[in-house]
Homo-oligomer: A and B are copies of this chain.
Amino acid sequence: MAFKSDIEIARAASKKPILEIGAKLGIPAEALAPYGHDKAKIGADFIHSLSDRKDGKLILVTAINPTPAGEGKTTTTVGLGDGLNRIGKQAVICVREPSLGPCFGVKGGAAGGGYAQVVPMEDINLHFTGDFHAITSAHNLLSAMIDNHIYWGNELDIDTRRISWRRVMDMNDRALRQAVISLGGVSNGFPRESGFDITVASEVMAILCLAQDLADLEKRLGDIVVAYRFDRSPVFARDLKADRAMAVLLKDAMQPNLVQTLENNPALVHGGPFANIAHGCNSVIATKAALKLGDYVVTEAGFGADLGAEKFFDIKCRKAGLRPDAAVIVATVRALKMNGGVKKDELSAENVDALVRGCANLGRHIANVRKFGVPVVVAINHFTSDTDAEVAAVKEYVSRHGAEAILCRHWAEGSAGIEDLAYKVVELAEGGQADFQPLYPDAMPLLEKIETVATKIYHAAEVTADRTVRDQLKAWEEQGYGDLPVCIAKTQYSFSTNPTLLGAPEGHVVHVREVRLSAGAGFVVAITGDIMTMPGLPRVPSAERIFLNEEGLIEGLF
C-alpha cells in the first residue's frame, strides 16, 4: 500500500453530516449552528441546560518534552477518543484550534495525523469558524481604544511608556514585533513604541479559554490591565469601556465547535492559547460541555507535561473545578532517543542504550503527574522505524517505574491500533485511584508558587529573580492578585531553562527575568529565558507551496 499523506487520508474520509454527529451526543439540531455541513457551534442555551447532568470521566493526554522528532500528542488524543468509542464508551475529544499563521511558515497542521485526525482538516487549520479572527478583532479593538483615548486627551492619565497591551495578528510576521506607531503628525496621535504578537498569544485567547460563560467572559475582559498611570495604578479595559463591545465580538467565538474524527466520532475543537505565556489548553466551556455529553472526555495540554500538564492541573482544573481521572503520557521511541543524545539524522538506527538514557525524561514526567494525584499510563506512539527491542526497553523502563507503557498504532490503523490503551484508560479511570489536587494552594505567596513548580516539577535547585521582579510580585499580592496561580513561560525542550539540556536535568537554576499580570485570564506569568510571542517565516515559507488544485482542493498545506 502506498504511503498516504495526512491530507489525502483526510480527504478520503467519509464524513457524516454534522447534525448527525451532534445527534449521537443528544444535541438537538436547533442547538447547533452549522458552518458548512461538517462544522457546527453548540448553542449557549443548550450548554446551560446540561448543568444538572453528571460528568463523564476526564482523561488528559500529555507528553514527554517535545523534540524535532515529534510525539503526536494531538494524534494520540484523537486516536484514544476513537479507541474509547470503539470499545463501547461514548467518548468526546477536546482539542485546541490550530493557529492560521504558522501554517504558512514551517508548521504542519494540528488536527492529528494519519488515521487519527479530526476533519475537515483544511478548514480547521485555516479560518475554521472564525474564532481566532474574532479574538484578533476584540484584542485590536481594545488597542485602538487605548490610543484613541490618549488622542482625545488622555483623561485616564495613562503613562504612554507603560502600555502593556499590544496588538495581535494571526500571521508569522517578524516585522511587526517592534514598531513605532502613531507617526505622521497630529492627526495620527502621539508616537510611541509598541508591536504585535501572534493572536494565540493574546490574553483574550486565554480569557476565552478560561471563561465559564459569556458573563464571566465579559467580567474577565474588563479585568484586563492594559497600562499603568503616571502614579503606577493599573488601567483596566473596563476603564476604557471596551470590555462590553469586546464581548459582543466574541459572542459566537465562545461557543465550542463540533467536528468529527475520521471514524465519525465527535470532537470539540475550541480555543488554543500559548502553552508558555498562557496555559495551553482547550476551552473550559468545551471541556465542561463534553463532560456532560460523554462518558469519557479526552483532552490535551500543550508542550510536555512540565509545562502543559502542570498548567492544565494548576490553572485550568483548579479554576474550572475539573477533576481529571487519568493521564496519558505520549512518548515515541525516536523522541526518547533524542533525549538520550541521538542526533536527528541517526534516529532510524536502533539504539537501545540511548533510548534507556532518554527514558529518564519520561520517568520524571510519570512521577510529576502523580504528584497531582492522577494515575498515569504511557502511550508509545508507534513509528515504522521502531524496533521490537526498543519498544520492549521502554515498556520495561516504565514498568520499573510502576506504570504501564502501551504500544499504540492509531496513526497507521486508527482506533483498531489503540484498543489496548483505551481499555487501560478505562481501568485507571474507573479504578477510583484518582485524587486530584493542585500542586500548591491558592494562598501561597506568588514567588513561593514559582519555586514550588520549579523545584517539584522541573527539579531545579533554586529560583532567582531581581528585586524589581520580587517587588512587583509583592505589589500584586497587595493589590489582591496573590491568590492567582502562576503560569511559567519556559522553553518546552527541557525541564530546565536551557533548551539543550535534554533528559532529566536537576540542580539547575531558574531565573525569572520578568513577570506579567494576566488579570483577566487570572494568572501571573513568570518569564524565564526568551519567549517569542511573534514567530517569523523561514527562508522558504510553506506558503510558497500551498495552492488550490484544478478541482479547487487545497494542496501543500501539510
A175 sits at the interface (CB 8 A): yes
Which of A37, A137, A189, A214 lies at the interface centre, i.e. has the most chain B CB atoms within 10 A of its CB?
A137
Query: In the complex, what distance in Å separates the CA atom of A171 from the CA atom of B168?
Result: 12
Query: In the complex, what distance in Å separates the CA atom of A345 from the CA atom of B371?
Result: 72
Q: Is the CB of A147 within 8 A of B130?
A: no
Which chain A residues (89-134) contact chain B, with CB distance < 8 Å? 100, 104, 126-127, 130, 133-134
Query: In the complex, what distance in Å separates the CA atom of A183 from the CA atom of B192?
Result: 13
Q: Beta-carbon contacts of A260-293 to B below 8 Å, as 1s and 0s?
A: 0000000000000000000000000000000000
Which of A148, A218, A536 lies at the interface centre, i.e. has the most chain B CB atoms within 10 A of its CB?
A148
Nearest-neighbour CB distance to chain B for A190, whole angstroms, equals 9
Which of A172, A179, A180, A252 lies at the interface centre, i.e. has the most chain B CB atoms within 10 A of its CB?
A179
Q: Is the CB of A537 within 8 A of B251?
A: no
Given known pairs A252-B127, A544-B241, the reply for A171 and B140 (CB within 8 Å) is yes
Nearest-neighbour CB distance to chain B for A33, whole angstroms, equals 4
Report B-chain residues with C-beta under 8 Å of the C-beta of A174. 147-148, 151, 182, 187-189
Report B-chain residues with C-beta under 8 Å of the C-beta of A244. 546-548
Which chain A residues (241-264) contact chain B, with CB distance < 8 Å? 241-242, 244-245, 247-249, 251-252
Nearest-neighbour CB distance to chain B for A273, whole angstroms, equals 19
Given known pairs A137-B170, A183-B180, A241-B543, the reply for A175 and B152 (CB within 8 Å) is no
Which of A44, A147, A174 lies at the interface centre, i.e. has the most chain B CB atoms within 10 A of its CB?
A174
Q: Closest B residue to A546 by CB, please name it.
A: B245
A164 sits at the interface (CB 8 A): no
Which of A134, A170, A177, A252 lies at the interface centre, i.e. has the most chain B CB atoms within 10 A of its CB?
A177
Q: Is the CB of B137 within 8 A of A171?
A: yes
Q: Is the CB of A134 within 8 A of B127?
A: yes
Q: Is the CB of B34 within 8 A of A554?
A: no
Q: Is the CB of B130 within 8 A of A127?
A: yes
A394 sits at the interface (CB 8 A): no
Nearest-neighbour CB distance to chain B for A523, whole angstroms, equals 25
Query: In the complex, what distance in Å separates the CA atom of A188 from the CA atom of B172?
Result: 12
Given contacts A127-B133, A214-B552, 10 further A-B contacts (CB under 8 A): A33-B37, A34-B36, A127-B252, A144-B173, A144-B175, A144-B537, A145-B543, A148-B173, A175-B189, A177-B188
